[in-house]
Amino acid sequence: MTTQTLDAIISIRNLDLHYGQFQALKSVPLDVRTRKITALIGPSGCGKSTLLRCLNRMNDLIPGCRVAGKVLFEGRDIYASGEDVCLLRKRVGMVFQRPNPFPLSIRENVVFGLRVAGVRERARLDTIVERSLTAAWLWDQLKDRLDEPALGLPLDQQQRLCVARLLAVEPEVILMDEPCSALDPIATARIEELMIELKKRYTIAIVTHNMQQAARISDFSGYMLLGEMVEFGPTAGVFTSPKDKRTQDYVSGRYG
């Protein structure tokens, strides 16, 4: 874990993060590999969401948050002075725990980012709406209802609409923070299958409380505890023969 991996789109070395006096991340390393799903698991408060939010500097918004160490996105330190945070968040997008569509139509939700960026041509917007909704497995169900309010959709369609909204601005990395915790098992399965489909074109990093979800969908897993990265490796290895006793206890349900 000390040398940079060639196929990692994001590489983190010795990342420390403080919220005021509290140290939430302790010299954490992480490689997020291109077009793979990387899952962060661990008990509440272990720092996994904090680490995920470092990948597109969402923690900047939290008062008293200090970051030290390097987060390299395609080799560039995103915390270096002069980095364009808006561009970073376009390239490294995020899907949140609760689906958060805007109180607008389905179509306007998808093109929101493009409108903000000043895109006006109707034909181009239409193309992007179709492409994004198709990629999020929503086009067939919603193509005749594009002007209906997004908030009227069932929760899993809302969550996939949030994915479509992200895809419209063509990100490279998709961060997902507990994307299924508000969904029932069937809706969860749909999002999971969608993630497996999306990784053909995008890199995905996901935080999940649901260990089984990490096992089912991810290629690499990192187990975090008290702000440390206890173990990181291919998911099959982490779940069948973890190297660290603490990982063993957690994945077999003996933790705590």
Partner 1 sequence: MERHFDEQLQTLKLHLMKMSALAETMIGDALKALVQRDESAIPLVYEREEQVNRLQIEIDEMCLTMIALHQPAAGDLRFIMGAAKTNSDLERLADQAVNICNKAENLLKEPPLKPFVILPEMARIAREMLHDSLHAFVNRDVAKSRDVLVRDDEVDRMKAEITVELSAYMASDSATISRALALVLIARNIERIGDHATNIAENTIFVVEGRDIRHHADHRPAGK
The binder of partner 1 chosen from 190, 209, 246, 249 (CB under 8 A)? 190
3-state secondary structure of 163: helix
Under the binding rule (CB under 8 A), the answer on residue 189 touching partner 1 is yes
Shortest distance, CB of residue 202 to partner 1, whole angstroms?
16
Interaction with partner 1 in 58-87: which residues (CB under 8 A)?
Answer: none
Shortest distance, CB of residue 190 to partner 1, whole angstroms?
7
Please, which residue, 39 or 174, has the CB nearer to partner 1? 39
3-state secondary structure of 14: strand
Under the binding rule (CB under 8 A), the answer on residue 219 touching partner 1 is no
What's the number of CA atoms in the CB half-sphere (13 Å) around residue 254?
6
Shortest distance, CB of residue 196 to partner 1, whole angstroms?
5
CA angle 126, 127, 129 (to 5 degrees): 65
Residue burial 67-83, b: 16+ Cβ < 10 Å; e: rest:
bebebbbeeeebbeeee
Shortest distance, CB of residue 197 to partner 1, whole angstroms?
9
| Dihedral angle sign, alpha carbons of residues 79, 80, 85, 88 | negative
Please, which residue, 108 or 192, has the CB nearer to partner 1? 192
| CA gap 62, 193 in Å, rounded | 33
Binding pattern to partner 1, positions 226-255, x when CB under 8 A? ---------xx--xx---------------
| CA gap 220, 40 in Å, rounded | 9
Please, which residue, 14 or 252, has the CB nearer to partner 1? 252
Under the binding rule (CB under 8 A), the answer on residue 37 touching partner 1 is no
Binding pattern to partner 1, positions 195-214, x when CB under 8 A? -x---------------x--
Which H or E run contains 254?
Answer: none
Tokens representing 173?
A: 């990395």
Shortest distance, CB of residue 248 to partner 1, whole angstroms?
12
Instruction: Give Cα separations from 239 to 90, 192, 214 (angstroms).
Output: 33, 18, 10
**Residues touching partner 1, count (CB under 8 A):** 13
Phi, psi of 94 (to 5 degrees): -135, 140
Chain residues in the site for partner 1 (CB under 8 A): 189-190, 192-193, 196, 212, 215-217, 235-236, 239-240
